Structure 1
Amino acid sequence: MKFKVLGSLGVEVDGHFHPIRGGHQRVLLAVLLVNGGRLIPAEELYGELWGEHPPVTVENALQAHVSRLRRTLQSLGPGAPVLLTRSTGYSLEFPAGDLDLNVFRRGVGRARAVMDRDREAAAGLLAQVLGLWRGTALQDVAGGPLCQSVAVQLAEEHLAATEDKLWLDFEREVPLAIGELKRMSVVHPWRERVTEMLMLALYRCGRQAEAIETYNAARARMVAELGTEPSPQLRELFLDILNQSPACAGTGKGARPAPQPA
C-alpha cells in the first residue's frame, strides 16, 4: 500500500490508484502522512479540519472522521497502516518508503550527492523522482495552515529539483535546454537561477546578444515591479557575458559553477 501526496491525495494498491472520498478524510490523512508517524494532538487536527469554526461536539466529530478513515484504509485491502488513537491525539504508522514525498526527497538528496562526479546518474535519479509528481502537491486537500505550508514547501522543493535537472540537461545538450529554460523563465519570472542558466545557454550557443537582452529584460522587470536590482551573482554573470569571459565558455578549469538555488 503506497500513499500519494505529490498531486491529488490517494492510495495505490497493486498498481491501482484509489482517491480518498470526503474532504475531511483527505485532510485528516494528509496531516497524518506529512507528519511521518508523529503523534498529532487533537487540537491541531481541529484547526486543520474546521479552522476557527469547529462544531460544538468537535471531539466526537473528530473521532467519527478517524473511524471512517480507518475503515476506508482497511477496505483497500491487507497491509493497511495502523491508525493509532492516543489520549492526546492520533498517529499513522507506515514505512517511510511507502510515501511518495519521502521517496522524492531521498532521491533528490542522492542526486545532489553525486551531481559533481556523475552527472548522468544524477540526471537519471532526478528524472525518476520528478516523475512521481502528478500535479500540485495536495492539490485536492483544502486543509488548514499545516497542509497549506507543506504544499508551499513542496512546490519550492519541486522547482529546485527541476532546476537541478535543467542544469544537468543544459551541460549535456545546451541547445535542447534553451526551449525549456525559456518556458521556465516565463512561468517563474523571479527565479534568478533560471535566468542565469538561460543566459549561459544562449551565450554558449553563440547568441550573446540574446543573453544580454535576457538580462536587460529581467532587470527592467525587477526594477519596475519589485523596485529592486538583480542579485550580485546575476550582475556578475551579465558582465562576464558582456566581456566574453572564458569562464562562460563551458566546462573545465575556471568555468562558472552551476547556478545555486536561492
Structure 2
Amino acid sequence: MKFRVLGSVEVEVDGRAHRIPGARQRLLLATLLVSGRRPVPAKLLQAELWGENSPPTVENSLHVTVSRLRRTLRKIGGGRPPELLTCALGYLLDVDTDDLDLTVFRAGVARARVTRLTDPERAHAILQESLGLWRGAPLQNITAGPVCRATVLQLEEEYLTAVEDGLRFSVEHRDPAYVVGELRRMSFTHPWHERFIDLLMISLYRCGRQAEAILTYHDVRERLSRELGVEPSALLRNRLEEILNHAPSLG
C-alpha cells in the first residue's frame, strides 16, 4: 500500500488509487500520516477531528473512527494493510517511509542538495522526480484541523524552495531563455517570494534583455510599495545594481 498526501489524501494499491470514505476517516488518516510514525495523543486527535466544540462522547467517537479506518484499510489492502496501533501515548499508523509520498519527496530533495555538489545534472534529475510526486495542493480533500493546516503551510514552503532549486539549476547550467516563462508564472503566482523574481532578473539579463530585467525590478518595487508599504529586499536591490553595472558574475 502506498499513501498520498501531496494532493488529495488517498491510498494506492497495485497502481490503483482508492479514496478513503468519510471526512473524519480521511482527516484521521492524514493526521496520522503527517505525524511521521510518531504516536499521536488521543486528545490531539480529538481536537483535530472535532475542534473546540467536541461532543461529550468524543472519546467513544474517536474509538469508532479509528475502528472504521482500520476496517477501511483492511478492505482496501487485503492482507497487506499497515497496522494502526493503539499505544499508551495514543495512536500510530506504522507506514514505511518509502510508502508515503511526503517522506519520499523530502528524502529526494535532501539527496538532490547533497548530490548537486558533485553531480549537478544528477541532482536536477532527482529533484524533478521528487517534484513529480505532487498532484496539487497538499491534503486538498480534507477539512484540516490545526496539525494538518500547519503541515500544509510547511509543505507549500518546501515545495516552493524545491521548485526554486530546480529553476536555479536551469538558469545556471542550461539556457535561461527556456525558464523565463516559468519564472514569470511563479513570480506572478507567488509575488512575495522574491527569490523567483531574482532568478527572473538574472535570466532576462543573461538573455540580453537588460531593460526587461530592470523593468521587472521596478514593477515589483511599485507593487510592494502600493500593497505592503515596503521596499524590495537587499537581494533584489543588489541584483539591480549588478545588472546596471554589468557585473561579470551575471554573464
Is TM more than 0.5 here?
A: yes
- How far residue 143 of structure 1 moved from its aligned partner, in angstroms, is 2.1
Spell out, residue by residue over 1:29-57, the C-alpha distance to the aligned partner (whole angstroms, 9 max, x if none).
11111111211111001110000111121
Match of 1:196 among 195, 198, 208: 198
Q: Distance in 1 between matches of 2:112 and 2:38?
A: 27
Q: Unpaired runs of 5+ in structure 2?
A: none
Contact (CA 8 Å) 1:141, 1:147: kept in 2 or not? Answer: no
Q: Distance in 2 between matches of 1:36 and 1:152?
A: 16
Supply the RMSD in Å over aligned alpha carbons: 1.0
Find the counterpart in structure 2 of residue 232 from structure 1: 234
Q: Distance in 1 between matches of 2:202 and 2:169?
A: 13
Spell out, residue by residue over 1:48-84, the C-alpha distance to the aligned partner (whole angstroms, 9 max, x if none).
0000111121111000000000000011122211111
SS, match of residue 91 in structure 1: strand
Q: Distance in 1 between matches of 2:88 and 2:185?
A: 51
Matches within 5 A, 1:1-262: 1-76=1-76, 77-171=78-172, 172-249=174-251
Q: Distance in 1 between matches of 2:39 and 2:89?
A: 8
Structure 1 ranges of 4+ moved more than 3 A: none
Aligned residues: 249
SS, match of residue 11 in structure 2: strand
SS, match of residue 47 in structure 1: helix
Contact (CA 8 Å) 1:2, 1:99: kept in 2 or not? Answer: yes
SS, match of residue 134 in structure 2: coil
SS, match of residue 85 in structure 1: strand
> Quick one: which amino acid aligns to residue 2 of structure 1?
K
Q: CA 1:88/1:110 → structure 2, altered by over 3 Å: closer, same or farther?
A: closer
SS, match of residue 8 in structure 2: coil
> Quick one: which amino acid aligns to residue 133 of structure 1?
W
SS, match of residue 141 in structure 2: coil
> Quick one: which amino acid aligns to residue 48 of structure 1?
E
Spell out, residue by residue over 1:84-108, the C-alpha distance to the aligned partner (whole angstroms, 9 max, x if none).
1124421111211111000000000
> What is the TM-score when the length of structure 2 is the normalising length?
0.97
Q: Distance in 1 between matches of 2:234 and 2:220?
A: 14
> Quick one: which amino acid aligns to residue 37 of structure 1?
R
Q: Distance in 2 between matches of 1:143 and 1:125?
A: 30
Q: Distance in 2 between matches of 1:209 and 1:88?
A: 61
Contact (CA 8 Å) 1:7, 1:133: kept in 2 or not? Answer: yes
Q: Unpaired runs of 5+ in structure 1?
A: 250-262
SS, match of residue 40 in structure 1: coil
Spell out, residue by residue over 1:166-203, the C-alpha distance to the aligned partner (whole angstroms, 9 max, x if none).
11122212111111111111111111100110000000
> Quick one: which amino acid aligns to residue 216 of structure 1?
H
Spell out, residue by residue over 1:133-154, the C-alpha distance to the aligned partner (whole angstroms, 9 max, x if none).
1110000111211010001110
Q: Distance in 2 between matches of 1:128 and 1:219?
A: 35
